[in-house]
């Protein structure tokens, strides 16, 4: 692995492997290290199973390829109502990626809403103690339209949530957050490409190894987490994405079909993650004299 890749921080190894093929035959951005061969790229992907491409950088690559209409991709920041720790960890990942979409759309209010929801879920998981300053910074940058700083602060907020989870021996939750963030990013990226008649940007969605590794790691979780239906939905969607992304030189029609299947599988899993738990209404006092158990 190249030294400059190691020096740029926890996420860059995966980011470089994910983005470099997108600029094949073109001048690469200055922040991207020299192209890796297959073995080096594989090593970068597996260096840290919990690292994922920074959504802001992935979306920047899409901007170069096809200039998406980000405003149409913004979704309401609504965290699920749930006491399920696995679901909360997954939802943080989804909303973190939604934050980058809002930054690309320059929707400051939506970024603030997303930050507020992430803080609430982090509090429910007991990992919000050090995040108050981050929340204040998100508000300040959003109000001032400081979009680059806002993107950096979102990345720092997500990283701090994960670091606190890890410090509290909740490493499995870090995997859930990372997997959901990448899943939501994949849903968004495939949707952007499919909306372009020329399929521009398809080269950005180029690695199957990461999806396969995340799916494998999710499958290796303890039953109390791995058996969670939301975790299973994410694992299955990533496994499907890995299989379809690994197709060798598909014809345009087949490539479009593959991307549609990936998009639909990811979108379904995201809906499962963000659905609030069903709450059974308690009977009224007149309906039953027995206490509800």
Residue among 269, 209, 261, 226 nearest 240 (CA): 261
Handedness of CA 27, 33, 35, 38 (dihedral sign): negative
Given a cut of 70, is residue 222 above it in pLDDT?
yes
Higher pLDDT, 155 or 179: 179
Q: Say how far apart CA 70 and CA 48 lie, in whole Å.
A: 30
Higher pLDDT, 87 or 5: 87
Q: Say how far apart CA 134 and CA 130 lie, in whole Å.
A: 8
What does the chain come to in residues?
A: 293
CB 23 within 8 Å of CB 29: yes
User: Phi then psi for 78, rounded to 5 degrees?
Assistant: -125, 105
Q: What is the pLDDT of residue 18?
A: 32
Decide if 290 is inside a domain.
no
Decide if 3 is inside a domain.
no
Q: What is the pLDDT of residue 136?
A: 74
Decide if 289 is inside a domain.
no
Q: Quote the percentage of the chain above a pLDDT of 70.
A: 73
Decide if 140 is inside a domain.
yes
Given a cut of 70, is residue 73 above it in pLDDT?
yes
pTM of the model: 0.76
Would you place residue 132 in the very low, low, confident or very high pLDDT band (cuts 50, 70, 90)? low
Given a cut of 80, is residue 290 above it in pLDDT?
no
Decide if 283 is inside a domain.
no
Q: Say how far apart CA 161 and CA 129 lie, in whole Å.
A: 10
Q: What is the pLDDT of residue 35?
A: 38
Decide if 69 is inside a domain.
yes
Q: What is the pLDDT of residue 46?
A: 37
| Residues 267-289: tens digit of each pLDDT | 999 999 999 866 444 444 333 33
Query: Range of 52's domain?
Result: 8-196+206-274
State how many domains the chain has: 1
At residue 18, the 3 state secondary structure works out as helix
Contacts of residue 156, Cβ cutoff 8 Å, sequence gap at least 6? 134
Given a cut of 70, is residue 23 above it in pLDDT?
no
Given a cut of 80, is residue 227 above it in pLDDT?
yes
Q: What is the mean pLDDT of residues 188-201?
A: 92
Question: What do you get for the CA distance between the two ends of the chain, in Å?
Answer: 57
Decide if 107 is inside a domain.
yes
Decide if 266 is inside a domain.
yes
Residue among 121, 101, 105 nearest 71 (CA): 105
Q: Say how far apart CA 88 and CA 230 lie, in whole Å.
A: 11
Q: What is the pLDDT of residue 7?
A: 31
């Amino acid at each position: 692995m190249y030294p400059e890749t190691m020096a740029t921080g926890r996420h860059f190894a995966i980011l470089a492997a994910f983005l470099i093929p997108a600029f094949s035959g073109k001048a690469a951005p200055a922040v991207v290290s020299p192209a890796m061969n297959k073995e080096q790229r594989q090593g970068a992907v597996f260096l840290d199973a919990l690292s994922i491409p920074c959504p802001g950088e992935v979306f920047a690559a899409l901007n170069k390829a096809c200039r998406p209409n980000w405003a149409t991709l913004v979704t309401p920041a609504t965290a699920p109502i749930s006491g399920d720790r696995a679901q909360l960890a997954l939802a943080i990942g989804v909303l973190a990626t939604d934050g980058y979409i809002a930054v690309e759309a320059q929707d400051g209010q939506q970024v603030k809403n997303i930050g507020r929801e992430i803080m609430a879920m982090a509090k429910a998981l007991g990992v919000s103690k050090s995040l108050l300053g981050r929340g204040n910074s998100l508000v300040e940058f959003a109000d001032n339209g400081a979009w680059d700083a806002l993107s950096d602060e979102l990345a720092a907020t997500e990283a701090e949530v994960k670091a606190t989870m890890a410090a509290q021996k909740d490493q499995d939750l870090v995997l859930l957050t990372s997997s959901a963030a990448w899943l939501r990013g994949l849903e968004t990226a495939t949707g952007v490409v499919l909306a372009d008649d020329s399929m521009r940007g398809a080269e950005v969605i180029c690695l199957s190894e990461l999806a396969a590794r995340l799916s494998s790691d999710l499958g290796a979780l303890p039953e109390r987490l791995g058996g969670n239906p939301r975790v299973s939905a994410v694992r299955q969607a990533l496994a499907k994405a890995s299989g379809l992304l690994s197709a060798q030189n598909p014809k345009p029609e087949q490539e479009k079909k593959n991307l549609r299947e990936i998009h639909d599988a990811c979108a379904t899993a995201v809906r499962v993650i963000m659905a609030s738990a069903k709450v059974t209404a308690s009977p009224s006092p007149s309906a039953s004299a027995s206490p509800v158990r």
